[in-house]
Amino acid sequence: MGLTNEDGSAIEIELPPELHKPLSLTLKAHEAMDLAWDQLAQLAAETPGAAEVACAPGCAACCSYLVDTVSSEGTLIAASIENSPPAYKAIILSRLQDWEYEFERWSRSHPMPQRSDGQEHAHDLWRGRWQARRIACPFLNLDDNTCSIYADRPATCRGHHACYAPPDLAGEIPLQPPEGCFTSWEAIEKGELTPIWQLNSELCTIFSQVMVKTLDSQNVEWTLYFLPQMVLREGRKHFGWPPNTHMRRNKPPRITQARKEPPDGQLQP
């Protein structure tokens, strides 16, 4: 089965037989998403007045978000890491464990509200509090703000993007990206999040639905979790990665500089 190295080059690896089907389906779903994105971009380029995507290489404004990841996507990424050069694998495993410790520590004082009827905004605001702390995704290279798993990134990342306001709304909307990509501490304290017009969530939702429907169509079971935890879980399950000892990690959290500085340059609790 073909996966990718950190540099995007193809590698051939041996996988347990039970992983062939879910990973093959995941790769096919990702290919369909990439094709759809290319077609949408071409259509937008040919359509007068279409909203312009604000994202560009090196932005990384969304790389502190909590990314929902399907289990087969976590397995795909874990397999790529397992078969990558030892030095890269060691760095990524260390970052993943650092992120895991920091998230668990923070979650003890900020329990996650369930996403149920009447709780959607509370859940989204909880995510916003984590995101505003600017903890970098373990797969983000802070030297150049590039993604080390870009070829195998989850459906949520593939569909997420920010848009500038269409020309016919110029002057009517107060903010433009990149500032529009950020939820500020002041907004969070008021119970507010980034205005939805600035973040096109429809494609992100559609891509996620493509992923799970692809698996459902072939009766492949799946679960959903945040990206670092899902990759660690699948790596521990299939490749014997070190278990979670819940021991303190003596490293400060990695902070993405793509976001605005918090008050006094300090992480919020």
Better-scored residue on pLDDT, 165 or 106? 106
- pLDDT value of residue 175: 55
Under the phi-then-psi rule, with left for phi > 0, alpha for psi from -120 to 50, and beta for the rest, what region is 7?
alpha
Cα separation, 210 vs 75, in Å, equals 18
Q: Look up residue 233 and give its amino acid.
A: R
- pLDDT value of residue 93: 97
- pLDDT value of residue 263: 44
Cα separation, 53 vs 44, in Å, equals 9
- pLDDT value of residue 176: 56
Residue of 45, 10, 48 lying closest to 166 (CA atoms): 48
Task: Report, as an integer, the average pLDDT of 13-31.
Answer: 90
Residue of 69, 255, 39 lying closest to 157 (CA atoms): 69
- pLDDT value of residue 20: 93
Place of tokens 């920091």: 102
Contact 115, 69 (CB under 8 A): no
Cα separation, 74 vs 153, in Å, equals 9
- Taking the model in full, what pTM does it have? 0.87
**Residue 167, burial from CB neighbour count under 10 angstroms (0-12, 13-18, 19+):** exposed
Hey, where are the domains in the chain?
Answer: 21-30+50-260
68: helix, strand or coil = strand
- Under DSSP, the state recorded for 163 is B
Task: Report, as an integer, the average pLDDT of 232-253.
Answer: 92
Query: pLDDT (tens digit, 9 = 90+) per residue, 179-202?
Result: 657 677 777 888 887 765 566 778
- pLDDT value of residue 252: 86
